[in-house]
A and B are shown apart, each in its own frame.
Chain A
Amino acid sequence: MHSSTSSFKREIPSLPWRGITVTVAVGVLVAVAAWEVYCRSLGYEPTLNDTDDLWAEARRHVEPESVVIIGDSRAWFDSDLDELERGLGRRPVQLALPGAGPYPVLEDLASEERFHGTVICSVVPGLFFAPAGPPMQRPSGAVKRFHGQTWAQRISHQISVPIERSFAFLKQEDLTMAALLLELPIPDRPNAQVPPRTPPYFCSIDRERRARMFEQAARPGPLQEKIKGRWLRLFTPPPPPSFVPPDIFAANVKEAIEARFKNTKAAIEKLRARGGKIVFVRFPMTGPLKEHEDKFTPRAQTWEPLLQATGTPGIYFEDFPELLSFNCPEWSHLSAGDSVEFTKRLVPHLRKALQL
């Protein structure tokens, strides 16, 4: 028998709870239905969210001899898995992440003793050499989730997949409360160092993480303009921090870039020692964004030294007329249709670079 130190009872508010609950439940159902209809009227369709759990699921599909795509959103949008499977003989695993540099994923693959497959690595210099910040956080977080994913997280992911496939409003990039608050037209203080906003939702994603540009973004219109409007600021290097003297900051950046070269080389050597292969790819970009990237991250100072330092083959879209002839509707990615054709044309170059 227990000797009670407490016979505590919480007070239950005396209200007609059954009626209140039914009213709330019906109200929520109606509100959700109305919100769903409104989101669809804006052009949104049900699609999966590119979460760390979805990435971890794809990462689990990496076999010792897999073909793996890593890097940024260009590899994510522009690579067609069917065409790559047809051309390379293996269905690739899509591990590229939007807004991400490839290094954390490359390092993770290089550290996996059993992996000796092929890596197709997209290079956007601004992301590839970013020492920290979102380009490193997103892939590092995904890798961390893969290694530390709990059963609860895996089950939540499995439950979320059919729900996300059914409702258009479940779009985390655009339609969460946080994303909607970001869109409020409130001017900032003139000196405020507010990070640039990422472009709105413009692709659908399937279970293999194949991204396809949304039709509305592929044709001229307000969505496309909105996306274009955000690239230039996003791809402009941030000003040096006010609290670090410029010469020290420049030295730190130089050191970080050198470290990235060194670490990338070490990861590639580790991979190659096990028989793995890697190829760098510069996917298409067009318009003012291309001019912008060429100005801030010129090929001669980024791409060429990277190939040289790592002794890795590379495919730069500009070097081949059949890869250069594509137009990126919003300057940075190919439309869903063009991505298939582009991949078809890319395959022979990949085979050659990888000596297949």
Chain B
Amino acid sequence: MLFNSLTFVVFFLVVLAAYWTMRSWEARKNLLLVASYIFYGAWNPPFAALLFATTALDFYLGRKMGKLQEPRERRLWLIISVAVNLSMLGFFKYGNFLLENFQWVLARGGIQYKPPHLDVFLPIGISFYTFHSLSYTLDIYRGVMRPTRSLRDFTLAVSFFPQLVAGPIVRAGDFLPQLDAPPKNEKGRFLWGLALMTLGLFEKVVLADTMLSGAADRVFDHGGPLVALDSWTGVMAFAGQIFFDFAGYSTCAIGAALCLGFHLKDNFRFPYAAIGFSDFWRRWHISLSTFLRDYLYIPLGGNRLGAARAMVNLIIVMFIGGLWHGAAWTFVVWGLLHGSYLAIERLIKALVKEKPWTEHFGVKLLIGLTTYLAVLIAWVYFRAANFEVASRMIGGMFGRHPTGDAILSTREILQVAIVTVFLLAAHWALRDISLETAVVRLPRWTVTTIWFLMACAIILTQGNSNAFIYFQF
């Protein structure tokens, strides 16, 4: 069920009405659990059983671990949890990728082998709910939390419909405490939730789908070389599209959760105003970057084992981060590029240290724009269907195809330019504050007008139900 669909509108209204009229907290939680499974099952009902199976297994393993004191024994159960979850993810998401690469390796050795194509259907959101569930056993193992006694509560924490299929990756440790007692009354929470849902939908259906996706698709799907203007426009369009698409989903999720009385953390914090790459990853897909930091980077040694090892760790983490996004080497290159950016940044920081001139706004802006430029280059590999397209795009961006094709209309170029300028200006204006602080600072009539215009624009687009990009991950 997509947030930008009529089915969701009706579903959400029914859930809200039932939820807020029920008095029993247990009944409300049961309702949310059933609603979440309906939300998920509306795509492909059998996969709801898979979701429940992995959840129940982690619940059981968490309880096992919670009863043990001996670290070695606890580790055994953790290994089982990690192995089962990642195997599931590996089979559905990476099965064919692994077979193709195995075939390639054998062919290099002169062995011709044609593996059968696994005709598997990727369960939607598997990368997200696997991490929701894994965070529970990992946190119990780390001693950060104790296991819950309620399978129902844990199942709801993993499957809570606003964040189920495309994040944010909400850790069980952040969500389970909110299930202990019904939410207290908070003035404005429900309506602010609705306002956030409007903002999220506006980002998705108006900015990502209507204003940017057309140019990005045409440029990346073009079969030949493009001139620099079209190449850059296409990449900037995709950079905006993926931000508005994914941040829009997260904002909708946060808003929907607020309407039900739950608090989810931010997943984006104006990332295109990042000054440096570590800053970028503190602002982009925060729930994934903190997940990888806490459960991978730090266990690998983090920056405790010297500068060289820290850089290697960064590259390993970003390699995994790239692969998490999709079963293709282009995603791996995207991850490795970001890993290299982070490593180079660490090196430069070690050389420059904290010199006073680095605090000058002009310097910060320059670093910020350099960061944006490097992020754009990495997006090429993320979006391109293969390396041929990616290298053609990079060539076009840096003027290697002066006689290439010009395929974008002036209207498309203007749309991308206007939205990109608006996006960068908004991110720079808000980079040091939260959205909530910005809203409080605005006059009431401005907030009203912005909300009104966003709602009208959503209606005018007539929501054509394009799937969110991150569903495929």
Contacts and interface: CB of A to CB of B under 8 A. Distances in A.
Contacts of A191: 406
A2 interface: yes
A136 interface: no
Nearest to A28: B455
Contact of A178 (B6, B414, B461): B461
17 contacts: A2-B177, A5-B174, A8-B263, A9-B263, A13-B436, A17-B195, A24-B448, A32-B456, A150-B44, A155-B10, A156-B7, A170-B462, A176-B464, A177-B206, A189-B410, A192-B406, A242-B224
Nearest to B436: A11
Interface centre among B42, B139, B214, B265 (most CB of A within 10 A): B42
B5 interface: yes
A20 interface: yes
Interface in A171-202: 172, 175-178, 180-182, 184, 186-189, 191-194
Given A9-B263, A28-B452, A176-B460, A242 B173 contact: no
B434 interface: yes
B439 interface: yes
Interface in A1-46: 1-21, 23-24, 27-28, 31-32, 35
A15 B439 CA distance: 9
Interface in A37-76: none
Interface string B413-427: 011000000000000
Contacts, number: 180
B364 interface: no
Nearest to A51: B464
Contacts of A23: 448, 452
Interface string B213-250: 01000000001110000000000000000000000000
A4 B139 CA distance: 11
Nearest to A2: B176
Contacts of A175: 462
Contact of A177 (B148, B210, B439): B210
A189 B411 contact: no
A186 B173 CA distance: 54
Contacts of A192: 406-410
B414 A12 contact: no
B410 A156 contact: no
Contacts of A300: none
Contacts of B43: 150, 152
B2 A159 contact: no
Given A17-B188, A20-B191, 9 more contacts: A2-B176, A4-B173, A6-B177, A10-B264, A10-B436, A15-B444, A152-B8, A176-B460, A189-B406
Contacts of A176: 210, 460-462, 464
A302 to B, nearest CB: 26
- A-B pairs, top 7 by smallest CB distance, nearest first, are A243-B224, A5-B173, A4-B177, A17-B191, A152-B42, A152-B1, A159-B6
Interface string B33-46: 00000000111100
A182 B223 contact: no
A24 B202 CA distance: 15
A241 interface: yes
Interface string B280-322: 0000000000000000000000000000000000000000000
B189 interface: yes
A21 B145 contact: no
Nearest to A31: B456
Nearest to B135: A5
Contacts of A24: 448, 451-452, 455
B400 interface: no
B16 to A, nearest CB: 14
Contact of B464 (A14, A172, A182, A243): A172
Interface of B: 1-2, 5-8, 10, 41-44, 139, 144-146, 148-149, 171, 173-174, 176-177, 179-180, 186-189, 191-192, 194-195, 206, 210, 214, 223-225, 254, 258, 263-265, 404-411, 414-415, 434, 436-437, 439-440, 444, 447-448, 451-452, 455-457, 459-462, 464-465
A198 to B, nearest CB: 14
Contacts of A156: 5-7, 465
A8 B174 contact: yes
Nearest to A6: B174
A35 B7 CA distance: 24
A182 B411 contact: yes
Interface residues of A: mostly helix, strand, loop or mixed?
loop
Contacts of B41: 151
Contacts of A31: 452, 456
B244 to A, nearest CB: 14
Contact of B405 (A8, A188, A193): A193
A82 B190 CA distance: 52
B6 A160 contact: yes
A153 interface: yes
Contacts of B415: 181
B465 A243 contact: no
Contacts of B144: 3, 5
A186 B191 contact: no
Contact of B146 (A2, A155, A181): A2
B2 A152 contact: yes
Contacts of B410: 186-189, 192
Interface in A333-354: none
A244 interface: yes
A35 to B, nearest CB: 8
Contacts of B187: 12, 14, 17
Contacts of A35: 460
A190 to B, nearest CB: 9
A6 B173 contact: yes
Nearest to B154: A2
Contacts of B436: 10-13
B448 A20 contact: yes
A60 B7 CA distance: 20
A177 B434 contact: no
Nearest to A187: B410
B191 to A, nearest CB: 4
B409 A188 contact: yes
A251 to B, nearest CB: 16
Contacts of B149: 1
Contact of A27 (B10, B174, B452, B464): B452
A187 B1 CA distance: 40
Nearest to A159: B6
A170 B459 CA distance: 9
